[in-house]
């Protein structure tokens, strides 16, 4: 509870710290507590469902307020952190991953979630995606793929299908779209799943599995832009005459060739975990180096250890 006075800035003595509850008495956030301002997405946008399931995940896992962080780049989907009552950052277009990487490496006690669009992930942020994947940084990245640039009102995105008519391809897209799963497998991601916002149960299941994965976990979540690419995912929606087909039970998710084969199926393909392997994270490897340095230079502050290293470079 903060006592507001007319004094600015308030003196520390006027600030009453909140009571610290023992861990056993602390409760996780509820959906109601996590929901912030009313989302400003268009009515019917697929992103609403992803947000609602994120709230559900936080509630289900009883996560404390300071133990979850929501990071995003720029785009309609990247407005995500605005709508979450919690710590988060709406960062630069395509740069959510480098920001989230720093956060993940320095704060092993919390789980970092990143949300963003297909443009943010595969165009402007494409190179960052490759490096976050190969470094196996512990975090969960939900790519809300609507196969179009929504915020900037309908340009061709890297996942737009051939022939898609947009403001940048008036005669229909001629550039071959990227295949998210194939790209992520080759980059070295250790958890890759596909889902669609029209199947809430499945989205939540994938989010939980991704969160439990010790490494870089990515979910490609089809999320329709009803304004600029209506009907894009009808073929994956049984209510629109399509079919939602799960990854077969006998799929070996540790086999990258099997993952490529699955990813090569015609759209909308299969939904579920395509690939998952265990590999040491950069978080662990870096923490080991830091731990050894602290041990070797016992008594020195971190900045003093760093200074010694810089001095050696001179």
Ligand X SMILES: Cc1ncc(C[n+]2csc(CCOP(=O)(O)OP(=O)(O)O)c2C)c(N)n1
Interface ranges with ligand X (CB under 6 A)? 74-77, 93, 116-120, 124, 146, 148-152, 157
Q: Nearer Cβ to ligand SF4, position 120 or 138?
A: 120
Q: State in angstroms the smallest separation of the CB of 233 from ligand X.
A: 14
Instruction: Candidates 81, 86, 117, 268: give the one binding Mg ion (CB under 5 A).
Output: 117
Name which position in 227, 234, 246, 256 contacts ligand SF4 (CB under 6 A): 227
Q: Which is nearer to ligand SF4, 46 or 125 (CB)?
A: 46
What is the SS3 string spanning the chain? CECCCCCCCCCHHHECCCCCCCHHHCCCCCHHHHECCCCCCCCCCCHHHHHHHHHHHHHHCCCCHHHEEEEECCCCHHHHHHHECCCEEECCCCCHHHHHHHHHHHCCCCEEEEEEEHHHHHHHCHHHHHHHHHHCCCEEEEEEECCCECCCCCECCCCCCCCCCCCCCCCCCCCCCCCHHHHHHHHCCCEEEEEECCCHHHHHHHHHHHHHCCCEEEEEEECCCCCCCCCCCHHHCHHHCCCCCECCCCCCCCCHHHHHHHHCCCCCCCEEEEEECCCCCHHHHHHHHHHHHHHHCCCCCHHHHHHHHHHHHC
Query: Which span sits near ligand SF4 by CB under 6 A: 62-70, 157-165, 166-174, 222-230?
Result: 222-230
Which residue in 42, 89, 92, 110 binds ligand SF4 (CB under 6 A)? 42
Q: Is 129 in the site for ligand SF4 (CB under 6 A)?
A: no
> What is the x/- site pattern for ligand SF4, positions 67-106, by CB under 6 A?
---------x------------------------------
Q: In angstroms, give the least distance from the CB of 128 to ligand X.
A: 13
Question: Closest CB to ligand X among 157 and 237?
Answer: 157
The residue range among 90-98, 117-125, 258-266, 299-307 that interacts with Mg ion, by the rule CB under 5 A, is 117-125
CB of 100 vs ligand SF4, minimal distance in Å: 22
Residues that bind ligand SF4 (CB under 6 A): 41-42, 45, 47, 76, 146, 150-151, 225-228
């Amino acid at each position: 509870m903060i006592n507001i006075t007319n004094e600015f800035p308030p003196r520390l003595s006027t600030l009453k710290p909140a009571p610290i509850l023992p861990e056993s008495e602390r409760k996780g956030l509820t959906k109601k507590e996590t929901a912030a301002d009313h989302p400003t997405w268009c009515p019917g946008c697929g992103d609403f469902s992803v947000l609602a399931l994120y709230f559900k995940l936080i509630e289900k896992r009883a996560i404390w307020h300071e133990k979850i962080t929501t990071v995003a780049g720029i785009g309609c989907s990247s407005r995500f952190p605005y709508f979450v009552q919690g710590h988060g950052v709406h960062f630069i277009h395509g740069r959510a991953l480098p920001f989230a990487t720093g956060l993940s490496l320095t704060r092993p006690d919390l789980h970092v979630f990143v949300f963003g669009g297909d443009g943010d992930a595969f165009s402007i942020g494409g190179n960052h995606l490759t490096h976050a994947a190969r470094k196996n940084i512990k975090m969960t990245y939900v790519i809300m793929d609507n196969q179009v640039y929504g915020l900037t009102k309908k340009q061709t995105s890297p996942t737009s299908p051939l022939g898609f008519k947009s403001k940048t391809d008036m005669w229909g897209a001629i550039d071959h779209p990227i295949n998210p799963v194939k790209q992520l497998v080759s980059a070295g991601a250790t958890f890759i799943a596909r889902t669609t916002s029209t199947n809430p149960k499945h989205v939540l299941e994938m989010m939980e599995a991704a969160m439990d994965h010790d490494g870089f976990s990515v979910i490609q979540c089809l999320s329709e832009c009803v304004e600029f690419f209506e009907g894009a995912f009808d073929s994956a929606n049984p209510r629109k005459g399509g079919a939602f087909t799960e990854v077969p039970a006998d799929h070996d998710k540790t086999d990258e060739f099997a993952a490529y084969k699955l990813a090569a199926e015609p759209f909308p393909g299969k939904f579920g975990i395509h690939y998952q392997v265990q590999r040491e994270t950069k978080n662990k490897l870096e923490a080991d180096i830091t731990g050894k340095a602290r041990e070797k230079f016992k008594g020195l502050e971190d900045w003093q250890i760093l200074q010694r290293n810089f001095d050696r470079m001179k």
